[in-house]
Chains A and B, each alone.
Chain A
Amino acid sequence: MSVQAQQGIATLRIPEGLGGLLPALILIGLFFVVPVLALLLRSVTDPAPGLQNYAALLGDGTYARVFFNTFLVAAVVTIVTVLVAFPVAWMLAIMPPALASILFGIIILSMWTNLLTRTYAWMVLLQRTGVINRALIGAGIIDQPLPLINNLTGVTIGMVYIMLPFMILPLVGTLRAIDPMTLRAAALCGASPLAAFRRILLPLSLPGIAAGGLMVFVMSLGYFVTPALLGGTSNMMLAEMIAQMIQSMLNWGLGSAAAFILLVVTMALYALQLRLVGSKRAVGGA
């Protein structure tokens, strides 16, 4: 911690960098800090001064449920993303570079495609009359369409797909930095492949998993489009509830309070991520 703090101070001491940063600082101040402060102010002044908006949000069972749903979806998405991303990242890490760069291209390309388009594509695939259900029914595997959309399953599938690159990229970095000789040494000492994975590869890649996982978790908390289109109303997430408060109910005080709570939680998690990444050099180090 102290080492990290010193590093932070050292970075700040570079004087010639500061002048160049000024436009960016002004931009962030004007378009991020000021609106966030206004948001905070509104949450304690609209419709009347006081903390009643926060009391309403934290004391009401419905909002508590939405908060719980938000964390549940983010957690499920994070876990599934790690499980899917790990083998892909491992493959990318040990592949011949030429082949790996083609696969990287495909992964990056998916990130460049419009989010809404990708989500609609999942709707076409997942709905009751969609490609997947029709194929399964046609093949005689099921009689009734599987409920793949408007529920947690749909949200998870759609969001994992969108989050995968954010997990794969840091993980590849971590895995590439692991000396392959450690695995060979484990094998020479008689470790089975499973034991080598469990006792060598997994512990060494934990910083990458933690960094990517936290990033995915934080991004998932505030997601709007995918849960709104692929989820159902009973697993509504916070972002959608905020949109309802702002657009439909015109209760801006309550919406601001909800947004501020989400922001604080997200910032806290982000701070945690910075500590993890900063101390272990998990991302960008390789």
Chain B
Amino acid sequence: MKLIFAGLLAGLMATTAAKADEMVFTSWGGTTQEAQTKSWAEPFAASSGIKVLQDGPTDYGKLKAMVDAKNVTWDVVDVEMDFAIKAAKDGLLEPIDFAAVPKADLDPRFSNENAVGSFYYSFVLAWNKGAVTGEPASWADMFDTKKFPGKRTFYKWSAPGVIEIALLADGVPADKLYPLDLDRAFKKLDTIKSDIVWWGGGAESQQLIASGEAAFGQLWNGRVFALEKDGADVGVSWNQNLTAADVLVVPKGAKNKDAAMKFLAAATSPTGQAKFAEASGYAPINTKAKAEMPADVVKGLPDAHVEGQINLDMNYWAEHRDEIATRWYAWQAK
């Protein structure tokens, strides 16, 4: 019965099954997927002859439906790392074939048996200079509505980031964040709840800040980078920037597994990573990539801001994902 349901769901949703010399890459759309297409998919297609079809946005429900129905139409998917750890435990992912994907130069923080790093990023504090007087300098300032009035925007979904920000703003030292004190975090978030505008996707966060609809917020550094490139008048603080990673995974039962592994090798190669970092402002997960990048681009990457940088604990999140999500959505709906 489960299979019938999942089969119908997947059958209705997925229409782009790839042929032998094709594969499907799925990511989050917008400026990020554009950069991935240009830096990875197009050069890979040219050199290997394997056509890379683009799909998206990433949807964990769809991924699960495809695997359950044994009708997997995505070959490589860009997902958040905490989801990848959880999904691997639930048996939703293929192991990575490290005979095809060179592992030696990959940052070990962002790769495991079922995933290789896609890129890593920081949540930074960004603001619209026209809408804010002064310069917010820490997450605590985002909770200070007297000093910094106006709407603030945070990531809508239950994911690493906002809980940690609330705890840091409440004075929890960076090395004492985990295990997360959810009661304390929600209590802190309660103090500004009516001033929060949630963003559900990267493009939305850019639109909110650029228009001044939200004066400031917690953004992915690559989205701020893109705003700056477009000439938007935004400020950014890297103080207490929070790193997390996206990883590339192959769903269990993917039809073009060999092509997928070859694609992963190209995407995580020093050149692929360098090109993507240059286009997106996100950091490479291949330790050799920086040698191939212009110096001014290297300066703008998250790993140029290691002072005060905090690594979000993906393993903790993978373990407590469901429990935190239940509380998170319950709190939001209140």
What is A's interface to B at a CB cutoff of 8 Å? Answer: 34-35, 38-39, 41-42, 45-46, 60, 62, 65-66, 69, 127-129, 150, 232-234, 236, 241, 244, 246-252
Contacts and interface: CB of A to CB of B under 8 A. Distances in A.
Given A62-B329, A128-B151, A150-B197, A250 B213 contact: no
B332 A251 contact: no
B330 to A, nearest CB: 4
Nearest to B62: A247
B156 interface: yes
19 contacts: A35-B8, A38-B4, A38-B5, A38-B8, A41-B1, A42-B5, A60-B330, A62-B334, A65-B334, A66-B333, A127-B213, A128-B151, A128-B213, A233-B198, A233-B332, A233-B333, A234-B332, A247-B60, A252-B64
A251 B322 contact: yes
B107 interface: no
B4 A241 contact: no
**7 shortest A-B CB distances, which residue pairs?**
A247-B61, A38-B5, A62-B330, A233-B332, A246-B61, A236-B333, A249-B325
B213 A241 contact: no
Chain B interface residue number, banded: 20 to 34
Contacts of B4: 34, 38
Given A65-B334, A233-B333, A249-B325, 4 more contacts: A65-B333, A244-B329, A248-B157, A248-B325
A250 B2 contact: no
B333 A62 contact: yes
Contact of A234 (B156, B157, B334): B334
B60 A248 contact: yes
B198 A247 contact: no
B6 to A, nearest CB: 9
Contact of A39 (B5, B151, B157, B158): B5
B59 interface: yes
Contacts of B157: 248
B59 A233 contact: no
Interface centre among B61, B212, B330 (most CB of A within 10 A): B61
Interface in B296-328: 322, 325-326
B333 A234 contact: yes
Contacts of A246: 61
B2 A42 contact: yes
Contacts of B322: 249, 251
Nearest to B68: A252
A34 to B, nearest CB: 8
Contacts of B326: 249
Contacts of B60: 247-248, 250
Interface in B1-59: 1-2, 4-5, 8, 59
A45 B61 CA distance: 18
A41 B3 CA distance: 12
Contacts of A39: 5
B211 interface: yes
A38 B151 contact: no
Contacts of A129: 211-213
Contacts of B8: 34-35, 38
A69 B332 CA distance: 13
Interface in B175-221: 193, 197-198, 211-213
Interface centre among A35, A241, A248, A252 (most CB of B within 10 A): A248
B333 A46 contact: no
Contacts of B2: 42, 45-46
B212 A42 contact: no
Contacts of B334: 62, 65, 234
A226 to B, nearest CB: 15
Interface centre among B5, B193, B325 (most CB of A within 10 A): B5
Contacts of B61: 246-248, 250
Contacts of B211: 127, 129
B101 to A, nearest CB: 27
Contacts of A232: 198
Interface centre among A39, A46, A246 (most CB of B within 10 A): A246
Interface centre among B59, B212, B213 (most CB of A within 10 A): B213
B333 A241 contact: yes
A18 B74 CA distance: 42
Nearest to B333: A236
Nearest to A256: B5
Nearest to A233: B332
Contacts of A252: 64
Nearest to B321: A249
A38 B151 CA distance: 43
Nearest to B159: A248
A280 B8 CA distance: 40
Interface string B148-162: 000100001110000
Contacts of B62: 247
Nearest to B4: A38
B59 to A, nearest CB: 6
A233 B332 CA distance: 6
B5 A35 contact: yes
Contacts of A66: 333
A250 B256 CA distance: 25
Contacts of A251: 322
Contacts of B333: 62, 65-66, 69, 233-234, 236, 241
A136 B8 CA distance: 50
A234 B198 CA distance: 11
Contacts of A150: 197
A41 B1 CA distance: 8
Interface centre among A39, A62, A250, A251 (most CB of B within 10 A): A250
